[in-house]
């Protein structure tokens, strides 16, 4: 999707939030706001919103003087999610449809975000318990399950640290019913906000359930033109692509692919585009998917 | 109050909203966003938030090429409020405490705003009916009523077009119980967003219940240093000052005065400062009021 004018004030807001997460120094917060505001005039709106965010986060890293200012927060997110993992694993194993439960947990895990979301993520267990009672606002689960049954190669585009623990749980459950499946899990090529990188994937043991590869880009999204040839090849060839989070949705919506978007809607613009409310949980089949759109 | 860094992205958002209200031309929307973003670096944060808004709205007027781009919307707001006036007048007259009912309606009237609020104001009657069931989140009504009983001179600082119809209703009800009271109603000195000016006051018959005077400034607020000597004298001498809306609150909070703030809280920052939720309705006595803070 292209950038809307509404994305520009939101970008400034995100930059301020990111600066505050990175440091308590109010002078730096102000420098970040000024630098990102100063970059707005002339920004081409035919870029995707995460491409603007990518530029803003590069500015933040430069001003903060740290290429990974959210390392500590990301590790805490991973630890918090790993701490609830045993209980969630049990929940999945005891449920009538383990893949559905794991799928919903993975979508709820997308609440863990320092980007556009202003959700309070401090109480992960409470968030999960509340959210599990909420139905998915868009629910292509029947199609998703059908496609998984015929799937030999799964490409999983991760989003945030912490969240990837719930992604691992979903991958475990999917592979449990289809042991021969080849799974690739894509992380960001370099640190950008709290997005998961290789370090996070290793910290949560993702390498035990999937081949973890780098996107090749520091965008907080999957900008295919910036991604490695391997990621592009997998994107074209995978039987099923699981795309996590709003940034990845913004970058891949309209790009084709055998995609299911799993995300929490985090701003009014995306909520309006999807026809849902801010905060809703989504499992949406790509209407342009080459495996067609006939109902099961 | 001083400007917080959070006010800067909000200012950009307001500017975009104001541009869209003024014109459908997307090129102008972009020009406005660029110009206001470009003004952010270097803005002194010791200014009050409405002083920044004042600068932004001057930019918008210049780019749109119209010194009063919201005239039509303001007239519509006045007409919509005048249309419900007879029913509200009856509601006040039939209620056990007419001043309380009129006071609450005047606070609810502060929902009519094109500024920081994103509330849907299209259905005024529906808003009023719903809001009347909601208690005030801060309620200094007992103190307010006590002060009104001893009041000979009332200064009423208005906020938005449309809303002023409900201000008129409150003034009528106050004067009904205190016929000798001198009432001054202050409007903005020049057009700024949908804030009420002299034209609006005359359109809704405010001159029949109060002496209508101009603030002398085009700020969407009451910046005393920009206001006329008359307004400053009245501010120092009035027995009771009714201050409507968040802009006036932001400019007068901390300035002393025998003030009661009547407003709807319209952003998270103000909600946090007041200890309420966004959207809450407030009747708050100024803790610095020279008539003291002893309980009645």
* A158 min Cα distance to partner chain B (Å): 29
Q: Do A30 and B45 touch (CB under 8 A)?
A: yes
Phi and psi dihedrals of B186, rounded to 5? -100, 130
Residue A122: per-residue pLDDT? 66
* B41 min Cα distance to partner chain A (Å): 4
Residues B185, B189, B195, B197: what is their CA dihedral angle, to the nearest 10 degrees?
Answer: 60
Residue A257: per-residue pLDDT? 86
Spatial CA neighbour of A81 closest among A127, A117, A42: A127
Residue A295: per-residue pLDDT? 38
Interface test with B, best of A18, A35, A41 (most B CBs within 10 A): A41
Across the beta sheet with B259-264, what order do the strands follow?
B138-139, B281-285, B259-264, B240-244, B153-157, B182-187, B211-214
**Residues of A with CB below 8 A from B13's CB?**
6, 9
The verdict on B37 touching A (C-beta cutoff 8 Å) is yes
* B272 min Cα distance to partner chain A (Å): 15
* A31 min Cα distance to partner chain B (Å): 8
Spatial CA neighbour of A74 closest among A242, A196, A157: A196
The answer for residues whose C-beta is within 8 angstroms of residue A290's C-beta and 6 or more apart is: A256, A257, A258
The verdict on B30 touching A (C-beta cutoff 8 Å) is yes
Residue B42: per-residue pLDDT? 84
The verdict on A29 touching B (C-beta cutoff 8 Å) is yes
Q: Which of B6, B29, B40 sits opposite A37 (nearest CB)?
A: B40
* B268 min Cα distance to partner chain A (Å): 11
The answer for residues whose C-beta is within 8 angstroms of residue B97's C-beta and 6 or more apart is: none
Residue A158: per-residue pLDDT? 98
Cα B175 to the chain's mean position, in Å?
A: 21
The verdict on A35 touching B (C-beta cutoff 8 Å) is yes
The verdict on A38 touching B (C-beta cutoff 8 Å) is yes
Residue B251: per-residue pLDDT? 96
- Which helix (H) or strand (E) segment holds residue A295: the answer is none
Cα B295 to the chain's mean position, in Å?
A: 27
How far apart CA B110 and CA B274 sit, in angstroms, is 16
Residues A192, A234, A281, A295: what is their CA dihedral angle, to the nearest 10 degrees?
Answer: 170
Residue A292: per-residue pLDDT? 43
Structure tokens at B173: 């009800």
Q: Which of B6, B29, B41 sits opposite A16 (nearest CB)?
A: B6
**Residues of A with CB below 8 A from B16's CB?**
5-6, 8-9
Q: Answer yes or no: are the C-beta atoms of B105 and B92 closer than 8 Å.
A: yes
Spatial CA neighbour of B192 closest among B296, B64, B97: B64
Interface test with B, best of A3, A7, A12 (most B CBs within 10 A): A12
How many helices, marked H, and strands, marked E, lie in chain A?
12, 7
Interface test with A, best of B8, B22, B52 (most A CBs within 10 A): B8
Q: Do B37 and A12 touch (CB under 8 A)?
A: yes
Specify burial of residue B141 (Cβ count, 10 A radius: 0-12, 13-18, 19+): middle
Paired sense of beta strands B240-244 and A182-187, if any? unpaired
The verdict on B292 touching A (C-beta cutoff 8 Å) is no
Q: Answer yes or no: are the C-beta atoms of A182 and A12 closer than 8 Å.
A: no
Structure tokens at B137: 């989140």
Q: Which of B5, B13, B33 sits opposite A40 (nearest CB)?
A: B33
The verdict on B33 touching A (C-beta cutoff 8 Å) is yes
**Residues of A with CB below 8 A from B120's CB?**
none
Q: Do A16 and B33 touch (CB under 8 A)?
A: no
Q: Tell me: the pLDDT tens digits for A223-258?
A: 999 999 999 999 999 999 999 999 999 999 999 889
Q: Tell me: the pLDDT tens digits for A67-88?
A: 888 899 899 999 999 999 999 9
Residues B89, B93, B95, B98: what is their CA dihedral angle, to the nearest 10 degrees?
Answer: 90
The answer for residues whose C-beta is within 8 angstroms of residue B293's C-beta and 6 or more apart is: B285, B287
Euclidean distance between the first and final Cα of chain A, in Å? 28
The verdict on A6 touching B (C-beta cutoff 8 Å) is yes
**Residues of A with CB below 8 A from B10's CB?**
9, 13
Q: Do A38 and B37 touch (CB under 8 A)?
A: yes
For B10, name the nearest residue in chain A, comparing CA atoms only.
A9
Q: Tell me: the pLDDT tens digits for A178-206?
A: 778 999 999 999 999 999 999 999 999 99
Residue A293: per-residue pLDDT? 41
pTM of this prediction exceeds 0.95: no
Kindly indicate the confidence band of residue A124, based on its pLDDT and cuts at 50, 70 and 90: confident
The DSSP 8-state label assigned to residue A42 in this structure reads T
Q: Do A33 and B42 touch (CB under 8 A)?
A: no
Q: Which of A9, A26, A30 sits opposite B13 (nearest CB)?
A: A9
Structure tokens at A247: 């940034």
Q: According to the 3-state scheme, what is the secondary structure of chain B? A: CCCCCCHHHHHHHHHHHHHHHHCCCHHHHHHHHHHHHHHCCCCCCCCCHHHHHHHHHHHHHHHHCCCCCCHHHHHHHHHHHHHHHHHHHHHHHHCCCHHHHHHHHHHHHCCCCCCCCCCCCCCHHHHHHHHHCCCCCEECHHHHHHHHHCCCEEEEECCECCHHHHHHHHHHHHHHCCCCCEEEEEECCCCCCCECCHHHHHHCCHHHCCEEEECCCCCCCCCHHHCCHHHHHHHHHCCEEEEECHHHHHHHCCCCCCEEEEEECCCHHHHHHHCCCCCCEEEEECCCCCCCCCCC
* A120 min Cα distance to partner chain B (Å): 14
Residue A294: per-residue pLDDT? 39
Residue A50: per-residue pLDDT? 96
Give me the residue spans of the domains in chain A. Answer: 7-64, 71-285
Q: Which CATH number is A71-285 given?
A: 3.40.50.10880
The DSSP 8-state label assigned to residue A260 in this structure reads E
Q: Which of A30, A33, A41 sits opposite B38 (nearest CB)?
A: A41
How far apart CA A59 and CA B144 sit, in angstroms, is 51
**Residue found by looking up tokens 């759109």 in the block:** A293
For chains A and B, count residue pairs whose Cβ atoms are closer than 8 Å: 63
Residue A6: per-residue pLDDT? 96
Kindly indicate the confidence band of residue A291, based on its pLDDT and cuts at 50, 70 and 90: low
**Residues of A with CB below 8 A from B35's CB?**
41
Structure tokens at A79: 């630890």
Which residues of chain B register pLDDT less than 70? Answer: 114-122, 290-296
Residue B296: per-residue pLDDT? 36
Interface test with A, best of B3, B12, B23, B44 (most A CBs within 10 A): B12
Sign of the dihedral defined by the CA atoms of residues A234, A237, A241, A247, in that order: positive
How far apart CA B294 and CA B296 sit, in angstroms, is 6
For A118, name the nearest residue in chain B, comparing CA atoms only.
B268
Q: Which of A8, A29, A34 sits opposite B12 (nearest CB)?
A: A8
Residue A121: per-residue pLDDT? 59
Whole-angstrom CA distances from B259 to A148, A198, A202, B19, B201 are: 65, 58, 60, 33, 22
Phi and psi dihedrals of B156, rounded to 5? -120, 110
How far apart CA A219 and CA A55 sit, in angstroms, is 8
Could you tell me which residues are beta bridge partners of residue A244?
A: A262
Q: Do A5 and B33 touch (CB under 8 A)?
A: yes
Q: Is A216 helix (H, G, I), strand (E, B) or coil?
A: coil
Considering only residues A121 and A135, tell me which one the structure prediction assigns the higher pLDDT.
A135
Sign of the dihedral defined by the CA atoms of residues B287, B291, B293, B296, in that order: negative
Residue B87, CB-side half-sphere exposure with 13 Å CA sphere: 10
Structure tokens at B139: 């309620």
């Amino acid at each position: 999707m292209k950038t809307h004018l509404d994305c520009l004030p939101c970008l400034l807001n995100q930059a301020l939030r990111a600066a505050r997460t990175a440091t308590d120094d109010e002078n730096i917060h102000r420098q970040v706001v000024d630098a990102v505001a100063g970059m707005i005039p002339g920004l081409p709106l035919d870029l995707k919103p995460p491409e603007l965010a990518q530029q803003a986060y590069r500015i933040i890293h430069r001003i903060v003087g740290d290429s990974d200012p959210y390392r500590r927060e990301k590790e805490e997110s991973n630890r918090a999610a790993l701490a609830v993992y045993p209980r969630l694993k049990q929940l999945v194993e005891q449920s009538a449809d383990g893949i559905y439960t794991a799928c919903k947990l993975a979508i709820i895990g997308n609440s863990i975000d320092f980007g556009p979301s202003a959700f309070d993520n401090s109480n992960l267990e409470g968030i999960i318990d509340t959210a599990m009672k909420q139905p998915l606002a868009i629910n292509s689960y029947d199609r998703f399950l059908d496609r998984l049954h015929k799937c030999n190669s799964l490409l999983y585009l991760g989003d945030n640290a912490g969240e990837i623990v719930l992604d691992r749980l979903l991958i475990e459950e999917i592979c449990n019913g289809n042991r021969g499946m080849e799974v690739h899990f894509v992380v960001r090529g370099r640190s950008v906000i709290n997005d998961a990188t290789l370090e996070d994937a290793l910290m949560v043991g993702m390498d035990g359930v999937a081949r973890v590869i780098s996107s090749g880009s520091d965008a907080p999204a999957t900008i295919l033109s910036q991604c490695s040839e391997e990621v592009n090849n997998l994107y074209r060839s995978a039987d099923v692509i699981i795309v996590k989070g709003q940034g990845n949705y913004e970058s891949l919506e309209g790009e084709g692919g055998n995609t299911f978007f799993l995300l929490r809607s985090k701003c009014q613009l995306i909520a309006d585009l999807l026809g849902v409310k801010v905060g809703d949980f989504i499992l949406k089949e790509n209407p342009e998917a080459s495996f067609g759109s006939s109902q099961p």
